[in-house]
């Protein structure tokens, strides 16, 4: 399809209370219709916690809930969650289709300033999700600072960044989202949480949906819960890339 109806949920998260967070998003998602893609923040079941995987909801419970929401909304629905596998813990971006198909991307760049690399295993693969004619690149928070990994090799149309990005570095979040859209000539959506977490870190949200030219087409009011909607045009994206083919001169980086 040439258009993608995207919704980004900029919301507070209950600290380490999985079922409470699911109930909160139950209420929000109940009123959403006619969407193609619905995005929740990073670690949407717990908040960003190093100990989250040890007491977080099992992956089966999270994917079951996402599948229910995807089926009801007839949309691709996802966000990241702290997941304890049989051997390791991962910060896993889960995107679930209405038919139950699950797409997984494990956060590659772990936030060492919070010792995330000591608690979670970094992902090794870059993933592209194909959905309703769109090619989507899922990324998680700190990944945003590393442009080589998200370099558009003419293999995606939309990059999704989910985050728990603290308010003191909000200017970095906003600038880097804009840069990723412009340099990759792609749509970019950033979904960040709001409120305070159990470590007393404050999050201002500043969620964004940005066009390939760098226009902000939707933005969440800082420090406030918000539901952002935008209609993305694949035709406009392709036309722009044809008229201004900077991508043809990009350096070749491979992962």
CATH number of the structural domain spanning residue 220: 3.60.110.10
Q: Rounded mean pLDDT of 65-85?
A: 97
CA distance 69 to 62: 11
How far apart CA 75 and CA 196 sit, in angstroms, is: 30
Q: Residue 54 has what pLDDT?
A: 87
pLDDT confidence bin for 170, thresholds 50/70/90: very high
Please write the tens of the pLDDT for every residue from 9-65.
999 999 999 999 999 999 999 989 999 999 999 999 999 999 998 889 999 999 999
Q: What percent of the chain has pLDDT over 70?
A: 99
Cα distance between residue 91 and residue 194, in whole Å: 19
In a domain, 7, yes or no: yes
Q: What percent of the chain has pLDDT over 90?
A: 95
Q: Out of 42, 59, 97, 116, which one is annotated catalytic?
A: 42
- Is residue 107 annotated as a catalytic residue, yes or no? yes
Is pLDDT of 254 > 80? Answer: no
Is residue 231 annotated as part of the catalytic site, yes or no? no
What pLDDT does residue 220 have? 97
Distances (CA, A) of 176 to 100, 121, 145, 148, 182: 33, 24, 7, 13, 10
Q: Within a domain: residue 88?
A: yes
E runs forming strands in 45-193? 76-84, 89-96, 102-106, 129-131, 134-140, 158-163, 187-192
Taking the CA atoms of 172, 82, 196 and 28 in sequence, report the sign of the dihedral they define.
positive
Among 59, 69, 107, 191, which one carries the catalytic annotation?
107
Structurally, how many domains does the chain consist of? 1
Q: What is the pLDDT of residues 85-142, one digit of tens each?
A: 988 999 999 999 999 999 999 999 999 999 999 999 999 999 999 999 999 999 999 9
59, 69, 141, 191: which is the annotated catalytic residue? 141
- Say what the pTM is: 0.97
What is the pLDDT, as a whole number, of residue 253? 77
Asked, for residue 255, whether it belongs to a domain, the answer is no
Residue 93 structural domain: 3-249
What span, in angstroms and rounded, lies between the C-alpha atoms of 44 and 152? 27
Q: Residue 106 carries which DSSP code?
A: E
pLDDT value for 255: 64
Please report whether residue 109 resides in a domain.
Answer: yes
Residue 67 counted as domain residue: yes
* Domain-located, residue 254: no
Q: Is residue 191 annotated as a catalytic residue, yes or no?
A: no
220 in a domain, yes or no? Answer: yes
User: Facing residues of 41 across strands?
Assistant: none
| Segments in 103-233 forming alpha helices (H) | 116-119, 170-184
Q: 117 with 110: CB under 8 angstroms?
A: yes
> Which tokens sit at 183?
């340099």
> What is the spatial distance between Cα 246 and Cα 214, in angstroms, rounded to a whole number?
14
3-class SS of residue 187: strand
Average pLDDT value over all residues in the chain: 97
């Amino acid at each position: 399809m040439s258009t993608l109806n995207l919704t980004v949920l900029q919301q507070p998260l209950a600290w380490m209370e999985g079922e409470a967070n699911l109930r909160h998003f139950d209420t929000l998602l109940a009123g959403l219709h006619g969407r193609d893609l619905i995005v929740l923040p990073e670690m949407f079941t717990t908040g960003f916690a190093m100990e989250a995987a040890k007491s977080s909801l099992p992956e089966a419970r999270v994917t079951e809930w996402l599948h229910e929401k995807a089926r009801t909304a007839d949309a691709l629905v996802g966000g990241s969650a702290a997941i304890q596998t049989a051997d390791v813990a991962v910060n896993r971006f889960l995107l679930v289709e209405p038919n139950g198909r699950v797409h997984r991307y494990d956060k590659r760049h772990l936030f060492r300033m919070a010792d995330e690399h000591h608690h979670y295993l970094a992902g090794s693969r870059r993933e592209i999700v194909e959905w309703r004619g769109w090619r989507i690149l899922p990324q998680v928070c700190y990944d945003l600072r590393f442009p080589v990994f998200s370099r558009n090799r003419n293999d995606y149309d939309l990059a999704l960044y989910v985050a728990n990005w603290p308010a003191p570095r909000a200017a970095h979040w906003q600038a880097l989202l804009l840069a990723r859209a412009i340099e990759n000539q792609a749509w970019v959506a950033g979904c960040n949480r709001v409120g305070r977490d159990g470590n007393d870190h404050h999050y201002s949200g500043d969620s964004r949906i940005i066009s390939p030219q760098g226009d902000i087409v939707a933005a969440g009011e800082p420090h406030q819960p918000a539901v952002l909607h935008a209609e993305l045009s694949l035709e406009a994206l392709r036309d722009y890339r044809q008229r201004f083919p900077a991508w043809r001169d990009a350096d070749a980086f491979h992962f």
